[in-house]
Amino acid sequence: MSVIRPLVAALEKKIVHIPLFVHTYSFPYRGVVRKEIALAEITDEDRVLNIGCGAIPFTAIHIARMSGAHVQALDKDRGAVRKARLCVRKMGLAHYISVHHGRGEHFCAAGFSAAVIALQAEPKNAILANLFACTNHRLRVIVREPRPTLKKQYDHLTTYEIPQAHCRQSLPTCERSLLFVK
């Protein structure tokens, strides 16, 4: 049973109203997202789907700021979605980022050219399969994978093809980001 994911979700909902905490909390992810943008070759021409954005949608924020891409952030927690919308508006990024309620394993990726599946998103196998099943164009998907010692805390891919590429990450929770291309 996961302990980390619910604690992180609760923490994000508490600190989202404090800009200094949001900046400090999201800062370590700048390097992670920078590597993922390079790995998936995301540019301002892309429409990116961010699955599992949480109350502080730092992945969407960093992608929009670093690449100029338009991002649609998705989360299954309605409370997190409300807080994430507020966060995006406070940061002045509503013209780049929209936040929606939904589940990645049911959401259609038609019209998106790239997607990022967050570490806490689940079920990863079903999400990835759904993304590829519902689109008939080239789609680049980044999947964050946990460190081996945390595989009981976070869902991870168990039955999928070999990624086209990957990059190592330096976070204590995330070992690497995998790239799959349809």
pTM for this one? Answer: 0.93
d(CA 151, CA 121): 13
pLDDT tens for 125-154 read 999 999 999 998 899 999 999 999 998 889
With a pLDDT cut of 90, the percent of the chain lying above it is: 76
SS (H, E, C) the chain: CCCHHHHHHHHHHHHCCCHHHHHHHHCCHHHHHHHHHHHHCCCCCCEEEEECCCCCCHHHHHHHHHHCCEEEEEECCHHHHHHHHHHHHHCCCCCCEEEEECCCCCCCCCCCCEEEECCCCCCHHHHHHHHHHCCCCCCEEEEEEECHHHCCCCCCCCCCCCCCEEEECCCCCEEEEEEEEC
Residue 1: pLDDT band with limits 50, 70, 90: low
For 168, residues 6+ apart whose C-beta sits below 8 A from its C-beta are 175, 176
Domain-wise residue ranges, the chain: 4-181
pLDDT tens for 45-89 read 999 999 999 999 999 999 999 999 999 999 999 999 999 999 999
What is residue 173's predicted lDDT score, i.e. its pLDDT?
Answer: 92
Residue 6: pLDDT band with limits 50, 70, 90: confident
Q: Are 73 and 64 in contact (CB under 8 A)?
A: no
What is residue 159's predicted lDDT score, i.e. its pLDDT?
Answer: 74
pLDDT tens for 7-60 read 888 888 888 888 888 888 888 999 999 999 999 999 999 999 999 999 999 999
pLDDT tens for 161-175 read 789 999 999 999 999
Q: Are 105 and 38 in contact (CB under 8 A)?
A: no
**Cis status, amide bond into 123, omega within 30 of 0:** yes
CATH classification code of 4-181? 3.40.50.150
Q: What is the mean pLDDT of residues 88-97?
A: 95
Q: Are 50 and 64 in contact (CB under 8 A)?
A: no
Across the chain, mean pLDDT equals 93
With a pLDDT cut of 70, the percent of the chain lying above it is: 99
